[in-house]
Amino acid sequence: MLLLSSTASAQRIVLLGQVVDEQQRPVPYATVGLADGSNGTATNEVGEFSLRVSVLPQRLVVLSMGYSRSETEVQKAGTALQIVLQASAVGLPGVTVRSPEKIAEELVQRASAKLWRHARDLQYGKAFYRQKTRHNGEYREFFDAFYDVKFSNRVIEGWDLGESRYAFTPGGFTFTNFSSLIRQVPVFSRHPLREKLLVPLGPQATQYFYFTLRSFFTENGRETAVIDFEPRPEVQKPATTGTLFIDVETAALRRQELSLPLSSMLRFQMEPGYERAGDDFKLVADFIPYADSLTRLSATRAEGTIVLRRPNARPDSTQVAAQLVFYQYTGRLPGHAYKDVGRHSRDLEQVMKKAYNPEFWQTNEVLRASPVEQEVIKSFEGRKVFGRY
């Protein structure tokens, strides 16, 4: 996801831009890199990117699942780039022997079986986590953290906190454990009857969800099925809706997009006189090829919105966005406990206790590879709130 390299200190030219689709809608988390693969970054949640280069001209390559590869020649800096991605999805064949629903169900069952067979396989890696909260359009809470992570193809099993930083100014909700949703919303269900939240992959998936094949697209010679899902009307417990991206040949999961009400997973404490007017939660998990026909988690991101109302007042809105990106995979590292991270672990408390080390954050290569958020960080630095709590 992040194409990291030992970039030279001479890289002073900064290319700024935004990636959009054909309808001018932002394309979040697209990969933007140099054609020779020497440097790269990813767009943020509104499609913006910032990339340091040493010389111009440069050829930029932009990739995102569901879109055709784009190459752009950049001759000079100073003007914001807009890169438009063309959708690569194609319609369903006009004549099919089986219905789109049957094709979708068979692919989901194959993908579920593959995940189940490898449910006990453990992976290890280094990841960067970022969480931002805005209240009525203004950033109020921000924290970064580096973790050594133990994970399976179902959930993040455990992690150890490294360096972190936290900033806060009063206003809106404080999310004490939002990262638990990124960790604990499962990729697939092992025992659906015992799960508090139903997801579309797992045993008896077709008993709980409807599946519809929307389209196929081909990317780098791989054909991917795009499958929409929704819970059946008789399902009584919280269940997700969304889209699955499954490799047609291998049945490997490539992406999972989920949505459901945020209130079904978190409890809110509100001041008297307020009532909740709406809330939603969206989570996207991306997977990359690993060990022949398998895939493993490469990045996951979540966005939540809460809207409150009270009589004769404007709506009060809080948005939270978080992402976890693996920048290196490792074996199990000696001296690491990979502490259990259950639903009730207090990650925010741990982050707040860490001493703020400005030098680490100013020189860290992972952050230098994707510096889009610098204005947000400068805002908190200007208010001198990093390390206060």
Task: Please write the tens of the pLDDT for every residue from 345-368.
Answer: 677 888 888 888 888 887 887 776
User: What confidence tier does 94 reach under pLDDT thresholds 50, 70, 90?
Assistant: low
Q: Which residue has the higher pLDDT, 329 or 265?
A: 329
- Asked whether residue 158 is domain-assigned, the answer is yes
- pLDDT, residue 90, reads 63
- Asked whether residue 199 is domain-assigned, the answer is yes
Question: By three-state DSSP, how is residue 374 classified?
Answer: helix
Question: By three-state DSSP, how is residue 371 classified?
Answer: coil
Evaluate whether 199 touches 213 at the Cβ level (below 8 Å). no
d(CA 276, CA 270): 9
Q: Which of 8-22, 98-112, 117-131 has the lowest average pLDDT?
A: 8-22
Q: Which DSSP helix (H) or strand (E) runs through 67?
A: none
Q: Are residues 78 and 134 in the same domain?
A: no
- Asked whether residue 389 is domain-assigned, the answer is no
Given a cut of 50, is residue 65 above it in pLDDT?
A: yes
Given a cut of 80, is residue 371 above it in pLDDT?
A: no
Q: What is the mean pLDDT of the chain?
A: 84
Given a cut of 90, is residue 154 above it in pLDDT?
A: yes
Q: Are residues 225 and 318 in the same domain?
A: yes
- pLDDT, residue 4, reads 40
Q: What is the pTM of this model?
A: 0.83
Q: Which structure tokens are listed for 184?
A: 């604990």
Q: Are residues 173 and 83 in the same domain?
A: no
Q: Are residues 180 and 218 in the same domain?
A: yes
Tell me which residue has tokens 């206003």: 171
Q: Which DSSP helix (H) or strand (E) runs through 115?
A: helix 100-117
- Asked whether residue 330 is domain-assigned, the answer is yes
The mean pLDDT of 371-387, rounded to a whole number, is 67
Q: Are residues 68 and 123 in the same domain?
A: no
- Asked whether residue 250 is domain-assigned, the answer is yes
Evaluate whether 185 touches 197 at the Cβ level (below 8 Å). yes
Which of 87, 108, 129 is where one domain is finished?
87
Q: Which of 108-117, 183-192, 258-267, 376-385 has the lowest average pLDDT?
A: 376-385
Range of the domain at 75: 13-87
- Asked whether residue 4 is domain-assigned, the answer is no
Q: Which residue has the higher pLDDT, 112 or 169?
A: 112
Q: Are residues 37 and 141 in the same domain?
A: no
Among residues 159, 162, 125, 157, the alpha carbon closest in space to that of 145 is found at 162
Evaluate whether 104 touches 213 at the Cβ level (below 8 Å). yes
Given a cut of 50, is residue 389 above it in pLDDT?
A: no
Q: Are residues 154 and 33 in the same domain?
A: no
Q: Are residues 52 and 201 in the same domain?
A: no
- pLDDT, residue 334, reads 94
Given a cut of 60, is residue 3 above it in pLDDT?
A: no
- Asked whether residue 93 is domain-assigned, the answer is no
Angle at 201 between CA 198 and CA 204, to 5 degrees: 80
- pLDDT, residue 300, reads 93
Evaluate whether 86 touches 64 at the Cβ level (below 8 Å). no
Tell me which residue has tokens 């068979």: 106
